[in-house]
């Protein structure tokens, strides 16, 4: 996971509240969250102790929906979403494997055939070709 951006069918939720306090996550949720949303910006020990990446993501995106979901609920929802949509498994099942060339349409169709939603694949131009680096769901 890079992040979880709250959204609503009737309006955009982008009014974040940087003043809202972040509470360090404790105990069982740390292990569960780290397994699904590792903090790749630091070592595991530092990440679990200081939680800077999770704090950043929560302050930037989670506070947008703080009037509906508290911090604990925000991270719980992110883990449930991760468990419900295993993109790598979906792509493998549909015959799309790392190291090979596919079109954006092939990737999108494979994901949509399982999720019933239009994904948003994003690529980066590296060398002489594009590489898939993110898929928005």
55 carries an active-site annotation: no
H-helix segments, 85-126: 87-93, 104-115
Question: Is 15 a catalytic site residue?
Answer: no
Active-site annotation holder among 2, 8, 15, 131: 2
Catalytic residue among 15, 32, 61, 134: 61
Instruction: Identify whether 57 is a catalytic site residue.
Output: yes
Q: Cα dist. 36→20, 39, 50, 71, 90 in Å?
A: 24, 10, 18, 17, 16
Closest-CA residue to 22 (of 53, 75, 48, 58): 58
Q: Which of these is catalytic: 32, 55, 57, 134? A: 57
Active site (catalytic) residues: 2, 57, 61
């Amino acid at each position: 996971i890079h992040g979880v951006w709250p959204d609503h069918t009737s309006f955009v939720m982008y009014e974040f509240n940087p003043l809202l306090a972040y509470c360090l996550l404790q105990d069982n949720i740390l292990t569960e969250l780290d397994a699904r949303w590792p903090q790749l910006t630091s070592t595991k020990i530092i990440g679990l102790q200081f939680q800077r990446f999770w704090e950043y993501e929560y302050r930037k995106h989670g506070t947008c929906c703080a009037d509906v979901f508290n911090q604990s609920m925000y991270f719980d929802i992110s883990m449930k979403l991760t468990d419900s949509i295993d993109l790598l498994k979906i792509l493998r099942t549909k015959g799309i494997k790392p190291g090979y060339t596919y079109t954006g349409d092939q990737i999108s169709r494979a994901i949509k055939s399982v999720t019933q939603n239009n994904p948003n694949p994003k690529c980066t131009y590296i060398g002489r070709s594009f590489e898939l680096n993110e898929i928005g769901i």
